Structure 1
Amino acid sequence: MNVKIQDVDFKASNDLQNFVTTKVEKLERYYADILDAEVVMTLIKPETKRNKKVRITLSVKGPDLFSEKTADTFEQAADEACEALEIQLKKLKDRISGR
């Protein structure tokens, strides 16, 4: 899977990029046919609580899967977005396998 990370209104550190890449790559456990993943991290202005937004789009055969979460940290938002995508991937896999 190819993971593309885009940061808007800030410069993401290598540690943050590695964290997000690792989280997204773990989604392949639930569905192996993920083609690409696009992650957009946005810093919402003005500076307030819950001003970090992560949007993840997964390209799979069929319709793309999408999750967007806002939290106090980018790591927390990425965790929540990946959890939502896990559920979507499990449902997709069940639908394809005919369960």
Structure 2
Amino acid sequence: MNLNITGHHIEVTPAIREYVTGKLERVLRHFDQVTSSHVILSVEKLQQKAEVTLHVKGKDIFADATDADLYAAIDLVADKLDRQVVKHKEKVSNHNHDKRQQAE
């Protein structure tokens, strides 16, 4: 998986990069067909914002979160992505299962 982390008005330190990578690995445990991901970390006045776009086969999954703390925003966006990825995985597996039943 290609991981691209960029920062707007913030320097992406190795600690932040490692934290984001660890959180995205949790998402990949549920669904391993992610081809690439793009993470944007930004600061807007007193709000820290984290945006993530996951590219999977046939769909792009996007989530964003805003908080006063950057690490909390990363946690929130990881939770949102986790729910969306699990839902997408269930849709894909149910859709393929329906096709197999029709073929029989």
TM-score (norm 1): 0.90
- Structure 1, unaligned runs of 5 or more: none
2:84 aligned partner:
88
Matched residue count: 95
Considering fraction of residues, name the structure with more helix: 2
SS in 1 for 2:32: coil
Greater than 4 Å deviation, 4+ residue runs:
none
After superposition, where does 1:1-99 map in structure 2 within 5 Å? 1-45=1-45, 48=46, 51-98=47-94
SS in 1 for 2:72: helix
CA RMSD of aligned residues (A): 1.2
- For residue 25 of structure 1, report the CA deviation from its aligned partner: 2.1
TM-score (norm 2): 0.86
One-letter amino acid of the structure 1 residue matched with residue 56 of structure 2: V
- Structure 2, unaligned runs of 5 or more: 98-104
One-letter amino acid of the structure 1 residue matched with residue 37 of structure 2: A
Structure index of larger Rg? 2
